[in-house]
Amino acid sequence: MSPHITNVQTAPIVGQKPGTSGLRKKTPVFMGRHYLENFVQSIFDVVGAKGRTFILGGDGRYFNDRAAQVILRMAAANGAARVIVGQGAILSTPAASHLIRLNQTDGGIIMSASHNPGGPNEDFGVKFNMPNGGPAPEGVTEAMFQRTTTITEYKVLEAQDVDLGRIGRHDLGGMIVDVVNPVTDYAALMEALFDFPAIRAMFAGGFRMWMDSMCAVTGPYATEILENRLGAEKGTCVNAIPLPDFGGMHPDPNPTWAKALMDEMFSDAAPDFGAASDGDGDRNMVVGQGIYVSPSDSLAVLAANAHLAPGYKAGLKGVARSMPTSAAADRVADALGIGKYETPTGWKFFGNLLDAGKATICGEESFGTGSDHVREKDGLWAVLLWLNILAVRKQSVATILQEHWAKYGRNYYSRHDFEAIATDKADAMFAALRGSLAGLPGKAVDGMTVQAADDFAYADPVDGSVSIKQGVRVLFQDGSRIVYRLSGTGTEGATLRVYLERYAPGPDGLEHDAQDALAPVIRAAHALAGIAAYTGRTTPDVVT
Ligand code: G1P
Ligand code: ZN
């Protein structure tokens, strides 16, 4: 049978609204009749496929391999010239972003639901990244969504599967399919940014590390870079084989879900350094011997020390953080005399700043850090920058953090998540909270006085676009801060995120636990929003 194109009659499938992190649904929904096909056709209809070159890969979760074959057949039927695919349909999100840029392609399709569990009854996702390597902006995802509501047919090539296990060039009905090693180009980029000889010498000197890939996509990347190229001892990389169900793990690198790593790092046998990454490899958590590094502190330490890595030795253009992320990075930016930016939650807001050369390093409190080397956050990049800093400074993580706090002061920080709240209850709480904002300044709560309260709005300094209602902020006279947001990525009910921050200048209280230091702020957060009254919840489900 020679391959031929079929125009399959379909009908809109309602309710498939992609966010900027793409379309995420339960796997059986994606596997349902015409579902994946409708969305992929809508992507091609919006961005155009004829004569184009795309990158394709995913985090290896259940259905990744089958979805890749469907997407390839549809790309061919829609007239694409070439698709570059990671071997086995594997690509981490940052590696896909890099390949899009490196090959100057017309964008890429990434199959992932990030840190959400994978498996036949868990989550699957598809997202489109633009030629700059970053997630499609809202206008584009909105157009894709609109297209899914009017679609009547999709094009697919009737053909055999492409052998995605074999590296090299394949033909699919006249479209070139280049199967590439998913790690090679990414590892070369890391080698160009970081002082590999110094890190190698540190490992040779007995430095020990635990890298937990949580049975997700960074396994092959971490093994190649840390063990093969940097000489870390065998076994440094654990859970390093990507599995369709992530071995039953919830591949979200935080103290709750990466508990085995936390236990190890706080045990007597703790290695010098520990790290974990998420499903698609864009998130990271770093832990020192007996000390947890909050993502907000990690961003600040990376910004303060980035010049120690060859790729950043000329200094940073600026530092950007999401609004709920602590102000620790701002203090570093001020000390360095460089720009600082506060954006709404979500990586897409950093893209413009990076493209415009306003910022070099960006980060979010949600375990995301990255730089202008790609247009996504990058878990292994953060781990390698930490290793580079440790190798040059020859100090422990704990010492580096303590010296940082002594110099800049410490922003105690924590996020409390209340999951699967009934949506109407969460909405009622926010409506009341928003309604109370004007009356808050001057109000005393738990020994603190409210200085200002608002609903965060952001005017993009590059394209002038304005985003409103990005989170309620309450600022106190002593510099403490509470932020309330509803998650935009949850799949069940509403998730309330409460972000808590308190600033302690100078070397005061280095030994304090963040939850203890934040106790009054936590009480105030509950009192001001009436969390228990509206949601019935008194304790958070996840604390990071
Ligand atoms: C969460 C994080 C946010 C991150 C996003 C995608 O979004 O809080 O920082 O950019 O995942 O990884 P949320 O569920 O809070 O909307
Ligand atoms: Zn992710």
The DSSP secondary structure of 332-370, one letter per residue, reads HHHHHT-EEEEE-SSTHHHHHHHHTTS-SEEEETTTEEE
Q: Which of 112, 114, 294, 322 is catalytic?
A: 114
Same domain, 517 and 381: no
Same domain, 341 and 459: no
pLDDT bucket at 353, cuts 50 / 70 / 90:
very high
Indicate whether 156 pLDDT > 70: yes
542 C-alpha to ligand 1 centroid (Å): 14
- Please state, for a pLDDT cut of 90, what percent of the chain lies above it: 88
Nearest to 13 by CA among 28, 41, 31, 34: 34
Cβ of 507 closer than 6 Å to ligand 1, yes or no, is no
Same domain, 395 and 434: no
pLDDT tens digit string along 49-97?
Answer: 999 999 999 999 999 999 999 999 999 999 999 999 999 999 999 999 9
User: Which residue's CA lies nearest to atom 5 of ligand 1?
Assistant: 346
pLDDT at 399: 96
Same domain, 414 and 500: yes
Cβ of 364 closer than 6 Å to ligand 1, yes or no, is yes
Q: Span 209-230, mean pLDDT? A: 98
pLDDT at 15: 62
Nearest to 38 by CA among 62, 72, 11, 19: 11
Same domain, 429 and 328: no
pLDDT tens digit string along 440-472?
Answer: 999 999 889 999 999 999 999 999 889 999 999
Same domain, 364 and 438: no
Indicate whether 11 pLDDT > 90: no
pLDDT at 492: 77
Same domain, 423 and 394: no
pLDDT at 127: 95
Cβ of 21 closer than 6 Å to ligand 1, yes or no, is yes
21 C-alpha to ligand 2 centroid (Å): 9
| Among 40-44, 100-104, 473-477, 507-511, the least confident range | 507-511
Catalytic annotation on 114?
yes
Cβ of 93 closer than 6 Å to ligand 1, yes or no, is no
Q: How far apart are CA 295 and CA 257, in angstroms?
A: 15
Phi, psi of 175 (to 5 degrees): -90, 135
Q: Given the structure tokens 């992609």, which residue do they identify?
A: 18
DSSP 132: T
One-letter amino acid at 483 equals V
61 C-alpha to ligand 2 centroid (Å): 12
Task: Tell me whether strands 494-504 and 542-543 are parallel, antiparallel or unpaired.
Answer: unpaired
Last residue of a domain, one of 374, 408, 442: 408
Same domain, 314 and 403: yes
Distance, C-alpha 63 to centroid of its chain:
21
User: Which residue's CA lies nearest to atom 4 of ligand 1?
Assistant: 346
- Please state, for a pLDDT cut of 70, what percent of the chain lies above it: 97
Range of the domain at 484: 410-543
Q: How far apart are CA 483 and CA 500, in angstroms?
A: 7
Last residue of a domain, one of 181, 198, 220: 181
- The mean predicted confidence, pLDDT, of the chain is 95
Same domain, 390 and 242: yes
Last residue of a domain, one of 349, 377, 408: 408
pLDDT at 382: 98
Indicate whether 1 pLDDT > 70: no
Cβ of 366 closer than 6 Å to ligand 1, yes or no, is yes
Same domain, 101 and 56: yes
User: Which ligand 1 atom sits nearest the alpha carbon of residue 347?
Assistant: 10
Same domain, 242 and 259: yes
Same domain, 251 and 368: yes
Q: How far apart are CA 517 and CA 514, in angstroms?
A: 5
Cβ of 489 closer than 6 Å to ligand 1, yes or no, is yes
**Geometric angle at alpha carbon 50, from 44 and 52, rounded to 5°:** 85
293 C-alpha to ligand 2 centroid (Å): 19
Q: How far apart are CA 8 and CA 4, in angstroms?
A: 12
Provide the number of structural domains found in the chain. Answer: 3
